[in-house]
Amino acid sequence: MHSAPARTHDPMCMGCGHANPGNLGVRVWFEGQRVHGEVLLDERHSGAPGYAHGGAIAAIMDDLLGQVLIPLDRPGVTATITVDFRGPALLGRTLSLESWCEKIDGRKLHMRGEIRDGDTLVAEARALFIHVDVSHWEASGQPLPESWQGWGGEAQNA
C-alpha cells in the first residue's frame, strides 16, 4: 500500500523535485516512519556503459534518507553520509528504495537506507542528520515552500 507524503518536499529538489527537469526521478511513499520508493536511472546517470555513476547513487541515498525527516516531523540537514556500494546499479532498471531512522539522540537523527535491484543489494548507507528549525533555510533569501509553514516546530537542543 502506498500512502501519500505528509508534506510536499521542495519542488526543485535534485533528487525528487517535480519542477526540476534535471531531477533524478526519485519517487517515494511513506509507511509509518519508513520511506519506500523507486527510481529508474538512464544514460544521463551513466558512470560506465550500462552502469549508474556512484555519485548518482550517493545523491539518491542522501535524498532518500532525508525523506525520513518528513514522517518524523523533524526538518534537518545532512551532517555525514556513508554509502557502501554492494552490487551493480544497472541503467534502465527500476531500483527499489527503503530508508528509516535507527535512533534519535536530541537533535541527532541516525538514518539507514538501502537500494536494491530485485533481491540484489546495490548500496546501503548510514547518515547523521541534524534537526534544525525551518528558519535555517531562510538565509538563502529564497521563498520556502508553503507546505513548510509550521514544519517541526522549534529544534530541540542537543
| Residues labelled as active-site residues | 62
Greatest C-alpha distance within the chain: 47
Using alpha carbons, list the distances in angstroms from residue 32 to 19, 68, 71, 145.
26, 10, 7, 23
Residue 122 near residue 87 (C-beta atoms within 8 A): yes
CA–CA distance, 93 with 68 (Å, rounded to integer): 24
Q: Please check whether residue 45 is in contact with residue 24, taking contact to mean a CB–CB distance below 8 angstroms.
A: yes
Q: Which candidate, 112, 111, 104, places its Cα nearest to that of 152?
A: 104
